Homo-oligomer: A and B are copies of this chain.
Amino acid sequence: MHERLLRSKGLKLTPQRLMALKAIEEGGHIDIDQLHDSFNRLGMKIPLATLYRILGELSSVGILHTVTLSGQKTRYEIAKGDHPHFLCEQCGQLEDLHITMNKIASIAQQACIHTTHSVSIMLHGICQNCSAFPAIDKEGS
């Protein structure tokens, strides 16, 4: 399945690439360090430099999509079309919002005289989990 993806882009199948795709698929929206940890947990040593290269390639061919966040590490997700995200300001978790971008884009487009190719929308707030347990510090003190 990921094999098809890679082949379709003319990329060779390597364990590193397959593992990266698997981890990102399972992890949802993860940054490079979380990805690196996924490798380590399975005993697969991989240099960050290689991960950066893999993530860059997969992004540039459109297999991955990057979410750039102010002051935070870039998150990666399997590309599945534009959609809004919700970022929890407390725990940093990123969630997909299930709404077609068309609605939003069409409204934004009303104010925009240019040709729009894509729209990125990020909501910032506090997620349900953090609302329920506001004092819990994930990072540990």
Contact = CB atoms under 8 A, between A and B. Distances in A.
A128 B116 CA distance: 11
A84 B108 contact: yes
A97 interface: yes
A107 B115 CA distance: 22
Interface stretch (A19-27, A39-47, A66-74): A66-74
Interface residues on A, range: 35 or more
A114 interface: yes
A97 B112 contact: yes
A107 B110 contact: no
Nearest to A124: B118
Report how many copies the assembly holds: 2
Interface string A90-124: 00000001110001110111111111111111111
Main secondary structure of the interface of A (DSSP, over half): mixed
B125 A99 contact: no
A58 B108 CA distance: 28
A128 B114 contact: yes
A104 B114 contact: no
Contacts of A86: 112, 114, 116
A88 interface: yes
A99 B110 contact: yes
